[in-house]
Amino acid sequence: MEKKGARVVVKPVIGFENRLIAFVLLNMKNTKCNLIEFAEAIKS
């Protein structure tokens, strides 16, 4: 995503339920949203 212009504002860290989370800012000119949270999938 960084190659497409996104900026990582919080690199992956342990978050809720011991899952990795990260936050990315997108370019508002190209998208309809600004901040995205990525969360690791729950392992079964």
Per-residue confidence (pLDDT) for residue 13, from 0 to 100:
96
- Dist. CA 22–CA 10, nearest whole Å: 5
pTM equals 0.71
pLDDT at 23: 95
The four Cα atoms 6, 15, 20, 13 give a dihedral, to 10 degrees, of 70
Q: What's the longest Cα–Cα distance across the chain?
A: 38
pLDDT at position 3 is 86
Tokens read off for 24: 């990315």
Residue 9: predicted pLDDT: 94
Give, for all 44 residues of the chain, the pLDDT tens digit: 788 788 999 999 999 889 999 999 987 666 677 889 999 998 76
